[in-house]
């Protein structure tokens, strides 16, 4: 089943009931779609969560809006009032765009090991490979071209989009979504230096991924060297993230794209990590920590807070002057210390 086809629409009062929001205004207005503030037309419902777009709400051509109590007076449209407009929008959008219902069964072009166990309600698409002793749960979807290795488990209602690769000894929890190109369970970067050459360290652990996780396209999660790499429940990983071996990511943490996390790092619960952050290995990051985009983290963070280590963009010539001044800071600091010592000796 694809996106909802536009028809007569859904009464706003029904959307209020199903989303848990307060209805203000005419509940019988019919809503056919969700839309952006500047692209909406009659039959659309829009939302406002960022105050900088408040002026657009006053001129939108939508039929209804989703707003917070502080923005309820910014429009005369019928509205859903809620403390969290973005979350309510997500619920409303899901009503108009329900998940596609897959047909259960194993495609004739799939290759499935005799020792695997696949639930009757699961879907295994064309050119999928399922390894020995692997289990696939009820209503799980393994879409075209995926490879699931030996001794894996894919729990109920999980979805693997096309061309996901899951190495051996990986467990994926219920309702988890893995997007195309993701690789889960590849060897970690374990190398021992010996006499000027690199000796590969066998990576004998696995990967355990919790419930309701989402893993973005082309993200990679390495298997443990010893023990498991663990991704907690409700973790959200954006595209093109690298998670090294034996990392542990706490429940409800969200990590934006192009972040790199070196091995054996422990990230707490409810953390938020901006895009392109680089986190060194063998660190601990406290629950509730926020790390700004492009920040380098080279030491453990023991206390929750917002951490930023990025120099803001400047015009190039101005940046050259600033960089030149920074390079001189050490010599300037030494001169200041020398002056302080001289002043101290004179005062004796």
Model confidence pLDDT, tens digit, residues 260-317: 999 999 999 999 999 999 999 999 999 999 999 999 999 999 999 999 998 889 999 9
Classify residue 212 as left (phi > 0), alpha (psi -120 to 50) or beta: left
pTM: 0.90
What is the residue range of 168's domain?
105-307
One domain for residues 39 and 114: no
| Closest to 92 measured CA to CA, from 56, 57, 67 | 67
Res 101: pLDDT = 84
Long-range contacts of 280-286 (CB under 8 A, 24+ apart): 281/244
Res 3: pLDDT = 46
Domain assignment present for residue 1? The answer is no
Helix (H) or strand (E) run with residue 24 in it: strand 22-24
Residue 335 CB burial class (10 angstroms; 0-12, 13-18, ≥19): exposed
Domain assignment present for residue 5? The answer is no
Whether residue 264 contacts residue 280, with contact meaning beta carbons closer than 8 Å, is answered with no
Res 339: pLDDT = 87
User: Within 13 Å, how many C-alpha atoms sit on residue 98's CB side?
Assistant: 6
Domain closes at, from 96, 130, 161 = 96
One domain for residues 71 and 138: no
One domain for residues 146 and 292: yes
Res 2: pLDDT = 43
Q: For position 72, which CATH number holds?
A: 3.40.1390.10
Whether residue 199 contacts residue 236, with contact meaning beta carbons closer than 8 Å, is answered with no
Domain closes at, from 96, 122, 143 = 96
Res 312: pLDDT = 86
Whether residue 237 contacts residue 255, with contact meaning beta carbons closer than 8 Å, is answered with yes
Res 311: pLDDT = 85
Domain assignment present for residue 277? The answer is yes
Res 310: pLDDT = 87
| Closest to 262 measured CA to CA, from 300, 234, 235 | 300
One domain for residues 158 and 298: yes
Domain assignment present for residue 144? The answer is yes
Model confidence pLDDT, tens digit, residues 216-231: 999 999 999 999 999 9
Q: For position 219, which CATH number holds?
A: 2.160.10.10
Model confidence pLDDT, tens digit, residues 77-96: 999 999 999 999 999 999 99
Q: What is the pLDDT along the chain (348 residues), one digit of tens a residue?
A: 344 445 679 999 999 999 999 999 999 999 999 999 999 999 999 999 999 999 999 999 999 999 999 999 999 999 999 999 999 999 999 999 998 889 999 999 999 999 999 999 999 999 999 999 999 999 999 999 999 999 999 999 999 999 999 999 999 999 999 999 999 999 999 999 999 999 999 999 999 999 999 999 999 999 999 999 999 999 999 999 999 999 999 999 999 999 999 999 999 999 999 999 999 999 999 999 999 999 999 999 999 999 999 888 999 999 999 999 989 998 988 989 888 887 766 666
Res 347: pLDDT = 65
Domain assignment present for residue 219? The answer is yes
Residues classed as catalytic: 245
- Count of structural domains, the chain: 3
One domain for residues 192 and 324: no
Domain assignment present for residue 3? The answer is no
One domain for residues 50 and 174: no
């Amino acid at each position: 089943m694809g996106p909802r086809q536009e028809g007569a629409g859904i009464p706003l009062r029904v959307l209020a009931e199903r989303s848990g929001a307060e209805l203000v205004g005419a509940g019988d207005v019919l809503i056919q779609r969700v839309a952006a503030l500047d692209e909406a037309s009659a039959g659309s419902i829009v939302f406002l969560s960022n105050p900088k777009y408040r002026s657009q709400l006053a001129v939108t051509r939508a039929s209804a809006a989703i707003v917070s109590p502080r923005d309820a007076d910014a429009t005369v449209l019928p509205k859903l009032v809620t403390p969290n407009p973005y979350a309510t929008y997500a619920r409303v959008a899901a009503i108009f765009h329900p998940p596609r219902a897959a047909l259960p069964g194993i495609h004739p072009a799939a290759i499935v090991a005799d020792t695997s166990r696949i639930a009757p309600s699961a879907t295994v698409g064309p050119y999928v490979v399922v390894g020995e002793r692997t289990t696939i749960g009820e209503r799980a979807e393994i879409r075209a071209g995926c490879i699931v290795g030996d001794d894996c488990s894919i729990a109920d209602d999980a979805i693997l989009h096309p061309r996901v690769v899951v190495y051996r000894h990986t467990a994926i929890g219920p309702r988890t979504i893995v997007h195309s190109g993701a690789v889960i369970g590849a060897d970690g970067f374990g190398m021992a230096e010996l006499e000027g050459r690199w000796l590969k360290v066998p990576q004998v652990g696995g990967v355990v991924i919790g419930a309701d996780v989402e893993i973005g396209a082309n993200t990679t999660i390495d298997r443990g060297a010893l023990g498991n790499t663990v991704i907690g429940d409700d973790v959200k990983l954006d595209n093109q993230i690298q998670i090294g071996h034996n990392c542990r990511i706490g429940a409800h943490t969200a990590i934006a794209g192009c972040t790199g996390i070196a091995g054996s790092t422990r990230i707490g619960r409810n953390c938020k990590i901006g895009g392109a952050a680089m986190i060194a290995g063998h660190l601990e990051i406290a629950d509730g920590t926020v790390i700004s985009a492009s920040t380098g983290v080279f030491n453990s963070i023991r206390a929750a807070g917002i951490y930023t280590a990025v120099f803001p963009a400047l015009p190039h010539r101005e940046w050259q002057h600033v960089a030149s001044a920074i390079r001189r800071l050490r010599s300037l600091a030494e001169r200041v210390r020398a002056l302080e010592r001289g002043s101290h000796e004179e005062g004796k």
